[in-house]
Chains A and B, each alone.
Chain A
Amino acid sequence: QVQLVESGGGVVQPGTSLRLSCAASGFKFSSYGMHWVRQAPGKGLEWVAVTSYDGSNENYADSVKGRFTVSRDNSKNTLFLRMNSLRAEDTAVYYCAKDGLGIKYYFDYWGQGTLVTVSS
C-alpha cells in the first residue's frame, strides 16, 4: 500500500532554514509527480510546490517562490523541501502528496504531515 512519511519539522527562528523529507513506498516513486501542501493552524489548505516525475519541472506558489526549493531522489524514493528565509507565516503542517499521474491531476495519497513552527 502507498505510504508517505514526512519528517524534518520543528521549531525554528525567523530567517533560518529547514529541510523536510518525505519517504515514499508502495508505488513506483519515479513515475509520479509529487507535491507539498501546507496547512496553517486552524486554516485551510495551501499548495506549496510540485516536482515532476524526474525532477526536471518544478512549480511554486507565489508565497514561497525564491525561498523554497523542491527536489527528489528517485534512487531513494524520497521527496525534499528546502525552506530558506523562513517567516512566521510559514508556520504550518506540511504534507507531501502524490499526484495521480503528472503534476496537474489530483493528490491521490497524502502523508500524515510534519509541523513547522517559525518563532523567535
Chain B
Amino acid sequence: QSVLTQPPSASGTPGQRVTISCSGSNSNIGSNAVNWYQQLPGTAPKLLIYSNNERPSGVPDRFSGSKSGTSASLAISGLQSEDEADYYCASWDDSLNGWVFGGGTKLTVL
C-alpha cells in the first residue's frame, strides 16, 4: 500500500487530454512539493514535472502539473502514442523523514 494514492490505470485516444491524480496527506503533499516521473517500458524513470508544475528542459509543454492542498495532478494534452508509460508522483514526507511514491498509473493510448 503506497503512501500516495494514484489510479492504477488511465487511458485516452490520440489528441485527447488525460489527467492523473495523486492524493496524499498533510505530512507529504500538504507540506512539500510534488514531482512526477515517467517510466517508459523497460527503461529507468525520467523526471517529468518538478516543484508541482515545473518542466525540466526537453519535456514538451503538453505535460503540466498542479497541486491543491493534499492532492496533485498531472495533465497530458494532445496525447501521443509515445506517452504510453507508467507515471509516478512523489513527495517528501515530514513524518517519515523520507520520500514517498504513488503506486503508479499505467497510461494506455488507445
Considering only residues 25-60 of chain A, those with a C-beta below 8 Å from chain B are: 35, 37, 44-47, 50, 59-60
Q: Determine the chain B residues whose CB is within 8 A of the CB of A106 once the complex forms.
A: 33, 35, 47, 50-51, 90
In the complex, the number of residue pairs spanning A and B with C-beta atoms less than 8 Å apart equals 59
A102-B8 Cα distance, complex, nearest whole Å? 31
Q: Is the CB of A47 within 8 A of B99?
A: yes
Q: Is the CB of B104 within 8 A of A60?
A: no
Q: Is the CB of B100 within 8 A of A47?
A: yes
Cβ of B45 within 8 Å of any chain A Cβ, yes or no, is: yes
- Interface size range on B against A: 20 to 34
Q: A44-B2, A104-B32 are in contact. Are A112 and B44 (CB under 8 A)?
A: yes
Q: Is the CB of A107 within 8 A of B97?
A: no
Cβ of B103 within 8 Å of any chain A Cβ, yes or no, is: yes
Give the nearest-CB partner of A45 in chain B.
Answer: B101
Cβ of B63 within 8 Å of any chain A Cβ, yes or no, is: no
A60-B103 Cα distance, complex, nearest whole Å? 19
A44-B88 Cα distance, complex, nearest whole Å? 8
- B interface residues with partner A (beta carbon < 8 Å): 2, 32-33, 35, 37, 39, 44-47, 50-51, 56, 86, 88, 90, 92, 96-104
12 pairs across A/B with beta carbons < 8 Å?
A44-B86, A44-B103, A45-B88, A47-B90, A47-B98, A62-B96, A95-B44, A95-B45, A106-B47, A107-B37, A107-B45, A110-B46
- A interface residues with partner B (beta carbon < 8 Å): 35, 37, 44-47, 50, 59-62, 95, 100, 104-113
